């Protein structure tokens, strides 16, 4: 199984500031033949189900604000929120879909400082 | 607008079978991959497996011996059965959709739509 490790476990950022969440995979999730990175990011607000934010490591899902962006290489990925808003308080998860079983990171809890 | 709704008994006894249904409204189950994912409250997410609308399945190896997933296209429903449950199976169970093959020319694997989840408690 591909192990997903997020850092930090929790993060407090001031409103309007940048938030950065990291995700490391135990093996490359870059498929050489199509140069795609099989990684997604999700946001889960309290009492809600997860919401897809980013897929293919850097493609924003429809309706997701452009302050959310994703980047990364074969094993190291980053979710960045450029200017934190109050509604961004949530737990964020990365997920690999390079191979089954699909696996998730342990989550990063983002709060307002 | 497509909506997913999980349903089933909220309480299951140890060693018995858990049965859940995901009802898809506002759209068809055709062409999509239908996944079950669970989350122990306050903890992370665990993928259990998926069933394609044709009925073909892929399960997580850790649960393969206990899990069965199926679909009923006529009712737009997806099903999960898990045998011999223990306290470790207590969680919120979500159904989630993976886009059709045609969207990216491949089976992708990102979950673009989730149900609200249903809490399952296991008691002795």
Dump pLDDT digits (tens) for B88-115. 999 999 999 999 888 888 888 999 999 9
Question: For an interface test with B, which of A41, A42, A97, A102 has the most B Cβ atoms less than 10 Å from its Cβ?
Answer: A102
User: Strand, coil or helix: what is A83?
Assistant: coil
Sequence-ordered list of residues with C-beta below 8 angstroms from that of A106, at least 6 positions apart, any chain? A4, A5, A6, A9, B44
Mutation choice for B interface testing from A39, A42, A49 by most B CBs within 10 A: A49
Query: Which pLDDT does position B102 carry in this prediction?
Result: 83
Looking up tokens 């306290």 gives B87
Tens of pLDDT, residue by residue over A20-36, are 999 999 999 999 888 99
B84 to chain A nearest CA, in Å?
A: 21
- A38/B109 touch (CB, cutoff 8 Å), yes or no: yes
| Pick from A3-7, A51-55, A71-75, A107-111: least confident | A71-75
Contacts A49 to B, Cβ<8 Å:
94, 114-117
Q: What is the pLDDT of residue A33?
A: 86
Using the beta-carbon criterion (under 8 Å), do A49 and B58 form an inter-chain contact? no
Please tell me the distance from the alpha carbon of residue B69 to that of residue B45, in angstroms, as a whole number. 18
pLDDT digits (tens, 9 = 90+) for B21-69: 999 999 999 999 999 999 998 899 999 999 999 999 999 999 999 999 9
| B108: contact with A, CB 8 A cutoff | yes
Smallest Cα–Cα separation from A9: which of A112, A80, A108? A108
Which residues of A, range 28-87, sit inside 8 Å of B by Cβ? 38, 40, 42, 48-52, 55, 61
Band (A12; pLDDT cuts 50, 70, 90): very high
């Amino acid at each position: 199984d591909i192990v997903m490790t997020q850092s930090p476990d929790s993060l407090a950022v001031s409103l309007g500031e940048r938030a950065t969440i990291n995700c490391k995979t135990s093996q490359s999730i870059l498929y050489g033949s199509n140069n795609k990175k099989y990684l997604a990011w999700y946001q889960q607000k309290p009492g809600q189900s997860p919401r897809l934010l980013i897929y293919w490591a850097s493609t924003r899902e429809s309706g997701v604000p452009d302050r959310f962006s994703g980047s990364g290489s074969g094993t190291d990925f980053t979710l960045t929120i450029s200017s934190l808003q109050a509604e961004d308080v949530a737990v964020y998860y990365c997920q690999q879909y390079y191979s089954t079983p699909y696996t998730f990171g342990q989550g990063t809890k983002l709060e307002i400082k | 607008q497509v909506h997913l709704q999980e349903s089933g008994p909220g309480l299951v006894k140890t060693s018995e079978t858990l049965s859940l249904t995901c009802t898809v409204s506002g759209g068809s189950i055709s062409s999509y991959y239908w996944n079950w994912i669970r989350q122990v409250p306050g903890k992370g997410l665990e993928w259990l497996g998926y069933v394609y609308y044709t009925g073909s399945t892929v399960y997580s190896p850790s649960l393969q011996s206990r899990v069965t997933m199926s679909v009923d296209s006529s009712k737009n429903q997806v099903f999960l059965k898990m045998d011999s449950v223990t306290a470790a199976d207590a969680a919120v169970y979500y159904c989630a959709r993976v886009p059709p093959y045609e969207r990216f020319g491949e089976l992708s694997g990102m979950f673009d739509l989730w149900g609200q989840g249903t809490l399952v408690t296991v008691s002795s």
